[in-house]
Structure 1
């Protein structure tokens, strides 16, 4: 990033936040604090009213606002593709807002940039497969949960887990404090503190039914940041597989989320998975038929053998 672009970006960052430290700006723009000090001085000399408080940081004088700025063609394309994505994957409320935003962006673009943007967009397409289309019920829940997060209100729903627990139960009723929504491999997940478990849990919207808003309120913990949140890794079981060469490309393209390591060998494609329970991968492994061999653990080899025998009996 050159100095001119960085100066503009610093003003935008100051405009977006009340107070910003020089160290944080240096980290953001991958430069030194000394460079940031010089940039602040340059902006002040150019008439930007920046207030500096020792030990606190920099802020813009109240009432100052950067005039509207123009977009380059790549920037405009990025924004417009973003509206395409929101229109396809978010709820109806945001779908309408995305359409409105796209119209506003296109309206303010200079003719030359608008033409170049149009040419680039015609050569690019955001295509989502039928399997990734968000069902109408899920979109409805997405909007409800999004509003509950903003209003800091708890929600209640029936939930169906993919695998039964130790007591053989798959269905439960949960009351949770919704902290945030995450789109993971085409599926919307809710990150929330569960009253039943008294801890943070993750819930797929596709497995929810009978979702209702509650009047009970909650307060988001000051230390919780969804962008920085990393769920605990409790996948302690290791699975080793070997795929035939003619199956290898399809396996790699599957982008299976349990894959930890892949290596090409003379005898085939070797893969390592890490899972919580072997049942999580049983159906996926069976789906590759004779194109895969389970190397370990022995218990999964036995499960595959038992399932194969059951299939043989049915035919």
Structure 2
């Protein structure tokens, strides 16, 4: 990174995150603390209102905002694709804001950059579930959950897992995550007295309550990593003719793949064997469960039921 780019990046960092120590800036931009000192001096001489607090770091004078800047073609395309995703997947409030933001970005792009950005963007297409019948309900749910999260208000809903009875859940919503095409609510569950994840497709009769809650001050959604309690290992043997398809499936529970003379050896890591039963059955005779024996028995039982139906 050259000096000009680094100076701009420093201003953006201070504008975005507030007070920053010289040591932290030096580590972030992979330079020396002395260079950061010189950069701060250069920014001050250029008219940027840098405020230095001994023992604390540097910040921008309150109210200062970096004036509009230009975008490269790649940066413009990245922003436009991101806004297109918001237009497709978020509730109508954010759809309208994304549409307005896209118009502003396109308006400030120079003609040549805008035309090149359009050409590059035409090479990408974002396919989502926008045309599905349940999207109206999903958008309403997103809007209500967003309000509950920002206002820190509890919600109540009926939750139905496959094969289990409906449970009423009262939760403190901490955030919403988009994982592999699925919206997931991260919330403190009062029934389980712990953080839990709820697929929005399984939520029914969502209700915003009057009760408030306090999110833990040390919780941030972007740094949150759920504990991995998948402790059961399942060993499979996949026939050669299905090996490539299994590799391409990018199945969440796959822990290890190893090619062998007798086929593809697959290790799955799960909480309960039942979680992958239908995936295994989906490969028909091309998949053989090696262990555990209890899952081998379940597959045999399901195969017998299938034979009886035919």
- Using structure 2 for the length normalisation, give the TM-score: 0.94
Asked if residue 254 in structure 1 is aligned to residue 249 in structure 2, the reply is yes
Q: Match for residue 302 of structure 1?
A: 297
Q: Match for residue 65 of structure 2?
A: 65
Q: Hey, what's the Cα distance between the residues in 1 that align with 2:51 and 2:133?
A: 48
Displacement, 1:73? 0.9
Q: Hey, what's the Cα distance between the residues in 1 that align with 2:251 and 2:83?
A: 28
Q: Match for residue 105 of structure 2?
A: 105
Displacement, 1:306? 0.9
Displacement, 1:161? 1.8
Q: Hey, what's the Cα distance between the residues in 2 that align with 1:130 and 1:242?
A: 37
Displacement, 1:266? 2.1
Asked if residue 283 in structure 1 is aligned to residue 245 in structure 2, the reply is no
Unaligned runs of 5+ in 2: none
Displacement, 1:28? 3.2
Q: Match for residue 88 of structure 1?
A: 88
Q: Hey, what's the Cα distance between the residues in 2 that align with 1:278 and 1:12?
A: 49
- What is the CA deviation profile of residues 237-296 of structure 1, one whole-angstrom value per residue up to 9, with x for unaligned ones? 001111112211221222211111112222222111111111100011001101111111
What SS is found at the alignment partner of 1:115?
A: helix
The alignment of Structure 1 onto Structure 2 pairs a total of residues equal to 310
The structure-2 alpha-carbon separation of the partners of 1:134 and 1:97, relative to structure 1 and needing over 3 Å to count, comes to farther
The structure-2 alpha-carbon separation of the partners of 1:229 and 1:314, relative to structure 1 and needing over 3 Å to count, comes to same
Q: Match for residue 221 of structure 1?
A: 216
Q: Match for residue 212 of structure 1?
A: 207
- What is the CA deviation profile of residues 90-128 of structure 1, one whole-angstrom value per residue up to 9, with x for unaligned ones? 122212221111111111111111111111112222223
Q: Hey, what's the Cα distance between the residues in 2 that align with 1:172 and 1:42?
A: 61
Q: Hey, what's the Cα distance between the residues in 1 that align with 2:234 and 2:215?
A: 38
Q: Match for residue 50 of structure 1?
A: 50
What SS is found at the alignment partner of 1:269?
A: strand
Unaligned runs of 5+ in 1: 165-169
What SS is found at the alignment partner of 1:252?
A: helix
- What is the CA deviation profile of residues 14-64 of structure 1, one whole-angstrom value per residue up to 9, with x for unaligned ones? 122331222332343344444333322222232222111122111112232
The structure-2 alpha-carbon separation of the partners of 1:258 and 1:134, relative to structure 1 and needing over 3 Å to count, comes to farther
Q: Hey, what's the Cα distance between the residues in 1 that align with 2:189 and 2:129?
A: 32
The structure-2 alpha-carbon separation of the partners of 1:298 and 1:130, relative to structure 1 and needing over 3 Å to count, comes to farther
Q: Match for residue 161 of structure 1?
A: 161
What SS is found at the alignment partner of 2:252?
A: coil
In the alignment, is the contact (CA less than 8 A) between 1:189 and 1:205 conserved in 2? yes
- Using structure 1 for the length normalisation, give the TM-score: 0.93
In the alignment, is the contact (CA less than 8 A) between 1:183 and 1:189 conserved in 2? yes
In the alignment, is the contact (CA less than 8 A) between 1:89 and 1:133 conserved in 2? no
Q: Hey, what's the Cα distance between the residues in 1 that align with 2:270 and 2:148?
A: 32
In the alignment, is the contact (CA less than 8 A) between 2:91 and 2:140 conserved in 1? yes
